[in-house]
Amino acid sequence: MSRGVKLAIVGATGAVGQEMMQILEERNLPLEELICLAAPSEVGTKLSFKGETIIVQSADEKVFKAADIALFAVETDISNKLAPLAQKNNCLVIDNSNAFRLAEGVPLVVPEVNARDIKDHKGIIASPNCSTIIMVVAINPIYEKYGLKRVIVSTYQAVSGAGVAGIEELDTHIKTYQAGQKPIPKTFQHPISFNVIPHIDVFVEDDYTKEEMKMVYEARKIMHAPELRISATAVRVPVYRSHSEAITLDLESPATVAEVKELLANAPGIIVQDDITNNIYPMPLYASNTDEVYVGRIRTDISGDNSIALWVAADQIRKGAATNTIQIAEEVIAKNLF
Amino acid sequence: MSRGVKLAIVGATGAVGQEMMQILEERNLPLEELICLAAPSEVGTKLSFKGETIIVQSADEKVFKAADIALFAVETDISNKLAPLAQKNNCLVIDNSNAFRLAEGVPLVVPEVNARDIKDHKGIIASPNCSTIIMVVAINPIYEKYGLKRVIVSTYQAVSGAGVAGIEELDTHIKTYQAGQKPIPKTFQHPISFNVIPHIDVFVEDDYTKEEMKMVYEARKIMHAPELRISATAVRVPVYRSHSEAITLDLESPATVAEVKELLANAPGIIVQDDITNNIYPMPLYASNTDEVYVGRIRTDISGDNSIALWVAADQIRKGAATNTIQIAEEVIAKNLF
């Protein structure tokens, strides 16, 4: 732990990159240097970190040679292009994009679930999709203790899942609506003001969206449950920040609601918010700007045998992206795996 | 059909009552007279109907004696008080509230599903809860043709489900938020601007809400499926009008997606909106101010055996309340059952 780390952020000026810098200020990673990288158009931008100014540089071979670990907070195509360059120069990549998540030999990690997979990396570790992270933190303790036959999830996803453009579009659409005019969709497929849209990312196999299938394939890999049956409906809602999920679980072996509540209350990364007599349950409004996954409305699913229903909310920019990536970096550093 | 009907609306000045008057203007019921009734404080209010002025009266024995049918669009306690008075005076009650829905001898009717039950009335017919109506229109054709083992539903419910107060609260909360201040909840339990709230109506048995259990008990009664296993998660979203539902169905006997699409396309009251290559699927924004239930995202539920996933949206003030009540009245009149 005495080894100082030279840490780079690729995409430091973006929404997730900026969030990473804020989280790094809050936590105690043994940083020797923080290197901020971004697209050529952003090079020279001054960013503030712990009272000092960091000048944004271009992501090139020389920079990766100088860095120990690079947190990638960029689009898939940029990760595809730059991650191999970092890898070649012995800079460990922890990637937030979809580029390597399902690739053979790339650990896909949510530290609360499978930190043990980190040691198998070959220069790239992937952080999962936000909706997946939130779901697996909540359901993995139940999977490990009781087994799972089936997972059904409906999501309520914030517009910031589509980045700053998503936030701006919700703002614009609401103001356009208030002015009595018709919102024009750009980032989303339809107006997002006072609407919900059952369509996130593109449609892929079996008429599911890519967002929905990410939850299936990524959860199976993270939880080491290649046969786990999962189906998702991913829906965009007019919320700025934090995703929510209604989850139904069919368990292999029986569990009471009290047992599940106790299990989750003691599980890492989870805060159980389940006091219905006081109207306490997870909500995006209160999950925002925190690092935990909130679980509530824990009850027997009365349509199933051995089934449990949950309601989950978490900040998808923090735990769903930036925080998870930094938690992976912390594990890597603590175990000297870079 | 030549018999002219004296039709009363109890609660004519409220949101659902006003919607009923508008729907009556659009449709061709053989009305001899429309009688508008409301609370004492509203008596004397002038309402417009087909170019004429109707003066709001008090709901008393004399009025019910003069009316053939009364559409009740009031709170449960008012229905409990006034419906027996109408019934006693041979005025058929079609009630929108929760007062009589599960009562023995009271048909609970969604005409597309169980119009045949109307004939068994003893002076009161109930119209179901909005979320229930929307769900049963969509799933009953599948139940009748393939059988259903299990129904899992997550809702995305508009604020107008809480009446005009709900609409005003969303408005106020958004403006408060835009002004940089903290919204104060009155109608809802928490701020509804840029938030979702997994709590509608009060908590009842097994930690489910009353809204959720209505969907269970009412659907069983309407569909004549007393053993049907249903579980719901009812969630308020910042949408003005029209509810959406993500529904998973486990079928008794196998059906292909193509068969289900064809079945629903030919089912009464349903419009299939399912053209994902053109981003067409049901959404509350487009369902509003129409009378149909829109069904899309029809696909195999990949977590189940013989399972189908659906996404449904409909205007809960129209099909979920006012339109359904008027459709019941139309059946009653057509079959001379009053």
Q: Is the CB of A197 less than 8 angstroms away from the CB of B229?
A: no
For residues B327 and B242, membership in a common domain is answered with no
A125 Cβ neighbours under 8 A, 6+ residues apart: A92, A93, A94, A95, A106, A107, A108, A109, A118, A328, A332
What are the chain A neighbours of B156 within 8 Å (beta carbons)?
156, 196, 235, 237
Across the A/B interface, how many CB contacts are shorter than 8 Å?
159
* Residue B144 structure tokens: 């009748």
| pLDDT tens per residue across span A44-95 | 999 999 999 999 999 999 999 999 999 999 999 999 999 999 999 999 999 9
Out of B36, B91, B130, B173, the active site residue is: B130
Measured between CB atoms, which of B151, B154, B277 is closest to A154? B154
The three state secondary structure string of chain B is CCCCEEEEEECCCCHHHHHHHHHHHHCCCCEEEEEEEECHHHCCCEEEECCEEEECEECCHHHHHHCCEEEECCCHHHHHHHHHHHHHCCCEEEECCCCCCCCCCCCECCHHHHHHHHHHCCCEEECCCHHHHHHHHHHHHHHHHHCEEEEEEEEEECHHHHHHHHHHHHHHHHHHHHCCCCCCCCCCCCCCCCCCECCCCCECHHHCEHHHHHHHHHHHHHCCCCCCEEEEECCECCCCCCEEEEEEEEECCCCCHHHHHHHHHCCCCEEECCEHHHCECCCHHHHCCCCCEEEEEEEECCCCCCEEEEEEEECCCHHHHHHHHHHHHHHHHHCCCC
d(CA A39, nearest CA chain B) in Å: 32
User: For chain B, which residues score pLDDT lower than 50?
Assistant: 1-2
- Out of A230, A300, A304, whose CB is closest to B150? A304
Tell me the CATH number at B82.
3.40.50.720
* Confidence (pLDDT) at A3: 67
Answer whether B233 sits within 8 Å of A276, measured CB to CB.
Answer: no
Q: In the predicted model, is pLDDT for residue A338 greater than 90? A: yes
pLDDT score of B81: 97
| Residue A2, pLDDT above cutoff 80 | no
CB–CB of A285 and B240 under 8 A? no
Q: What domain range includes position A272? A: 132-316
CATH number at residue B222: 3.30.360.10
Residues A294 and A328 in one domain: no
pLDDT of residue A1: 44
Same domain, B95 and B237: no
The answer to whether A246 contacts B229, with C-beta atoms less than 8 Å apart, is no
Q: B315 or A163: whose pLDDT is higher?
A: B315
CB contact under 8 A, A230 and B303: yes
Query: Is residue B22 domain-shared with residue B81, that is, in the same domain?
Result: yes
Interatomic CA distance for residues B258 and B272, integer angstroms: 12
Cβ neighbours of residue A206 closer than 8 Å, sequence gap 6 or more:
B299, B300, B302
B49 in the same domain as B14: yes
**Same domain for A289 and A328:** no
Contacts of A246 in chain B (CB under 8 A): 154, 198, 233, 235, 246
Q: Are residues B200 and B59 in the same domain?
A: no
Q: Are residues A240 and A263 in the same domain?
A: yes
Same-domain check for residues B19 and B46: yes
Shared-domain flag, residues B295 and B325: no
Distance from CA of B131 to the nearest CA of A (A): 16
Domain count, chain B: 2
Cβ distance of A283 and B190 shorter than 8 Å: yes
* Residue whose C-alpha is closest to residue B129's, from B333, B305, B262, B314: B314
**How confident is the model over A286-294, as a mean pLDDT?**
98
- B173 with B306, same domain: the answer is yes
Q: Is the dihedral of CA B205, B222, B249, A243 positive or negative?
A: negative
pLDDT digits over A124-157, tens only? 999 999 999 999 999 999 999 999 999 999 999 9
Same domain, B94 and B13: yes
- Nearest residue of A to residue B299 by CA position? A207
Per-residue pLDDT, B3: 67
